[in-house]
């Protein structure tokens, strides 16, 4: 019901990771101490992307767009704050911030399976006491977090495609001497842990808050399915990532191990 907030989610989803250099914040701060100082050593890559995206939006060529987006300066200030909150939410490496997000979720939705249930079970008088702003903030955060890892909650082919690109990005940083960690060392098990401790719990939250309707069940089903398929095929896929990327080869467009369990695959659809 808040058009500006809805627009902020779209804008943040499109612009998050702008200017990303393929390295985590810990390394980025070592390489660019001035940048770390500018942003107080917190969510540096995320804050950098905010400034880059905002600078583009402020260019003269987007004047008409800004006039359509913002009725007044207050709208513009509020929009930027929404963008800041949404993009910083994607810094999942910040444990302190993630813990606060977890507590906000518990405060907003404890005792109700879904947002719809929360509203339905209360009287009109009780509804006026609900902290809607807290619930809205939490839901916006979950949507933004989902957009950051959307490939994990989509079809298997989509997941593997973008998983390979992430591996390649991290490998490139490793061979360039920017990251000491070889992504191959723990890639298979790391993805299993990522599904178990982050992706599947996030998908459950999206389903629980009801913001996506029936699609929430679909996202959760894909997350669970991809996790299962990765346990079956992930070791082979990781080995192939290593062979093709280290040899500067291009992955086949339709490798057999990307096929679904029934062997039919989804190629060509």
pLDDT tens-digit map of 146-161? 888 999 999 999 999 9
Q: What burial letters (b/e) apply to 42-75, b meaning 16+ CB within 10 Å?
A: ebbbbbbbbeebbeebeeeeeeeeeeebbeeeee
Residue 25 backbone phi and psi in degrees, to 5: -60, -35
Classify the phi-psi angles of 18: left when phi > 0, otherwise alpha if psi is within -120 to 50, otherwise beta.
beta
Cα 82 from chain centroid? 16
Express as a percent the part of the chain with pLDDT over 90. Answer: 45
Q: Identify the pLDDT of residue 208.
A: 85
Running DSSP on this structure, what letter comes out for residue 39? T
pLDDT tens by residue, 74-126 = 999 999 999 998 998 888 888 888 888 888 877 777 655 555 555 555 554 44
Whether the Cβ atoms of residue 163 and residue 191 lie closer than 8 Å to each other: yes
Distance CA 69, CA 11 (A): 11
- The confidence band for 220, taking pLDDT boundaries of 50, 70 and 90, is very high
Pull the structure tokens for residue 236.
């082979």
- Residue 184 burial class via C-beta count within 10 angstroms: exposed 0-12, middle 13-18, buried 19 and up: middle
Pull the structure tokens for residue 16.
């998050």
**pTM for the full predicted model:** 0.77
> Which contacts of 176-179 are long-range, i.e. CB under 8 A and separated by 24 or more positions?
178/22, 178/23, 178/27, 178/31, 179/23, 179/24, 179/27
Share the mean pLDDT of the chain: 83
Distance CA 145, CA 142 (A): 5
Q: Identify the pLDDT of residue 114.
A: 52
Pull the structure tokens for residue 136.
């809205």
pLDDT tens by residue, 50-88 = 999 999 999 999 999 999 999 999 999 999 999 998 998
């Amino acid at each position: 019901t808040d058009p500006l907030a809805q627009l902020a989610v779209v804008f943040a989803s499109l612009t998050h990771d702008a200017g990303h250099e393929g390295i985590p914040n810990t390394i980025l701060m070592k390489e660019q101490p001035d940048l770390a100082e500018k942003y107080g050593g917190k969510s540096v890559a995320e804050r950098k992307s905010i400034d880059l995206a905002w600078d583009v939006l402020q260019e003269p060529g987007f004047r008409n767009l800004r006039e359509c987006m913002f009725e007044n300066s207050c709208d513009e200030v509020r929009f930027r704050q929404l963008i800041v909150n949404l993009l910083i939410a994607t810094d999942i490496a910040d444990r302190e911030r993630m813990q606060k997000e977890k507590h906000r979720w518990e405060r907003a939705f404890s005792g109700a399976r879904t947002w719809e249930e929360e509203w339905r079970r209360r009287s009109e008088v009780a509804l006026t006491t609900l902290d809607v702003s807290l619930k809205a903030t939490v839901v916006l955060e979950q949507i933004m977090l989902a957009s950051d890892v959307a490939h994990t909650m989509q079809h298997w082919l989509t997941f593997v495609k973008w998983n390979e690109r992430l591996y390649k990005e991290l490998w490139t940083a490793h061979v360039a001497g920017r990251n000491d960690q070889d992504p191959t060392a723990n890639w298979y098990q790391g993805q299993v842990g990522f599904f178990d401790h982050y992706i599947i719990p996030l998908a459950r939250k999206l389903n629980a808050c009801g913001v996506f309707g029936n699609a929430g069940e679909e996202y959760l089903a894909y997350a669970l399915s991809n996790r299962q398929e990765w346990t079956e095929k992930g070791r082979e896929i990781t080995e192939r990532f290593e062979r093709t990327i280290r040899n500067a080869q291009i992955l086949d467009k339709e490798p057999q191990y990307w096929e679904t369990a029934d062997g039919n695959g989804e190629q060509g659809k």
